[in-house]
Every structure is written in C-alpha cells, then in structure tokens.
Amino acid sequence: MPELPEITSRAREMNKALVGKTLASFEIKQTQCLNVTERVFKKALLGATINQISSKGKWLLVDTSQGWLLINLGMGGEILLKTDGTLPKKHRFIIGFSDGSQLVINFWWFGYVHFAKHDQLQFHPIVGKLGPNILDLTFPEFKSILQKQRGRLKTNLLDQSKMAGIGNAYIHDILFFAKLHPLCQIPKLDESDMRSLFDAIHRELRMSLDKGGAFYELNLYGNPGGFTEKDIVIGYRDGKPCPVCSTPIQKVKTGSTSSFICPDCQKLV
C-alpha cells in the first residue's frame, strides 16, 4: 500500500532526520529481502555516512558515502526512527546508527533492502528499470509515454517501468475522476481523456502528499498520514452510491486485481 505519496513523505522525513548519520550496525531478520549476501551487504555499507535520501516511485533511495541503500516496503510496512532504545514488536531490519538511534523497518509481507554501488544504480534490476516519477512529468511528456502504450489503461498505469508511483489503492479514485474505465484500451484515449487523467493523477497524489500520505501508513515517528478514509471517494466503497450520479459503486475483477468503479460514470467504450 505504500505508493508515491507515502514514499515521498518518508523520503522528506528521512532527509530531515538522517543526513549525516553513520551506519554502525545491521540486524537482518529476513535475509530474503537482500539482493546480496548478508556478509557482502554488511561489508559494503557498515561505516557509511548518509548523504541524501530521494525516492523514485515506491522506492526509497538512500545515497551514502559507500553506495546506495535501496528500500521497498512491498505491500506495506513501517520505517520508524527510534531514539529511546525501545523497539516495536514487529521488526525485520534494524539499522543502528553511531549516535545510538535506530531505523527500524518492518515489512508487512515482503519487502526489499538492496545495495548498489555508486555508479551501478542504473543497472539495478528493478530500480534501473523504473520510469520517471509520475508527478515530475509535464502533460506533453505524460501524453507521449501513454501514446506509446497499448493494452488496458489500468495495467499500464500500474506498470512502474513506464511511469513510477501509482499503485492499486489510489488508482480507483484517479480513474473515477478522469471518468475512465480501468479496462479501456489505451489507443482509444483522446486528448481530453489524457488531460483528465493527468489532472486526476496530480490532484489525487498531490492531495495525499500534502497530507503526509495515507492513514494506513505510519511516518518515521509512528504517526499516521492525514489522507483518511473520508478522502477516498470510490475505492473500497462497493454498494455505496456514486457521489455524482448515485449509481451503486461496483467492485469488478480487472485481471489479477480488483477495481472499484461507478458503472455509469466510467463506461467501457
């Protein structure tokens, strides 16, 4: 569930709190999250100092003096900064800093903590293939990327290699505000459809970003984001009336994921 608003918020918080800290210890409880052996990981990053934190799509990119630390929370999880020596019940990865503070990471299911050398980020098998952050695109750039695609709209918007940042939680309201069906074929979109889609993406993601992300994810200090259930209009509200036309909202299968749509406002053409 962490998507662009949550990950971008975490990057901002980490930039304020972690720059200059030195990585002094690692406790790795789930070694499957690594892309190298535990031994190689520790050897590479122990003693490194944090320069800056940025994000791309759903990935946190930590630039250190000894290379990149790359974090993906998968289907959910927390990154908490603890300064009092206590630990939350659930933790799978702990980074101990030389000042005694700790960055405690918990994945709900499956996440990644990867290492890449300074000049090797572009060759990382996942991060190297990510498209641009979707909020960084201008409309002409967005349109140009979309026009090169075929197939179903939803599948393409979730494909992080084209544009990075949208996941299966925010997409329901985005498509509703753009009045587009998740299964609509990309070549059928006209200029005004793409404009509506672009505007809906920015509106939705920016609103959540401004609120520090969604309520179901915690920030570095354990506080939930300000984007609440009330901010969700269509998603996860099957059976409730559409706020525009009162038609009951439907939950439909779209490939391997579910979608929530207003069957009247979002016609499949």
Quote the CA–CA distance of 97 and 29 in Å, as a whole number. Answer: 18
Q: Is 251 in the site for DNA (CB under 7 A)?
A: yes
Q: Which stretch binds DNA (CB under 7 A): 39-47, 135-143, 156-164, 173-181?
A: 156-164
Q: What is the DSSP letter of 242?
A: P
CB of 224 to DNA, least distance (A): 15
Binding mask 94-113 for DNA (x = CB under 7 A): --------------xxx---
Residues 37-76 interacting with DNA (rule: CB under 7 A): 57-59, 72, 74-76
Rounded to 5 degrees, what angle do the CA atoms 35, 25, 59 make? 40
Distance CA 106, CA 236 (A): 25
Which segments of 117-260 does DSSP mark as H helices, in order? Answer: 139-147, 153-158, 171-177, 191-210
Binding mask 195-234 for DNA (x = CB under 7 A): ----------------------------------------
Q: Does 1 contact DNA by CB under 7 A? A: yes
Collapsing DSSP to helix, strand or coil, 196 comes out as helix
- Closest to DNA by CB, 168 or 250: 168
Q: φ and ψ at 187, to 5 degrees?
A: -60, -15
Task: With residue 12 as reference, give the H or E element that holds it.
Answer: helix 4-17
| Residue number with CB closer to DNA (202 or 251) | 251
CA distance between the termini of the chain: 30
Residue placing its CB nearer to DNA in the complex, 97 or 176: 176
Q: Is 151 one of the binding residues for DNA (CB under 7 A)?
A: yes
CB 265 within 8 Å of CB 250: no
In the complex, the residues that contact DNA under the rule CB under 7 A are 1-3, 32, 57-59, 72, 74-76, 90, 108-110, 125-126, 129, 149-152, 155, 158, 160-161, 167-169, 185, 236, 251, 255-258
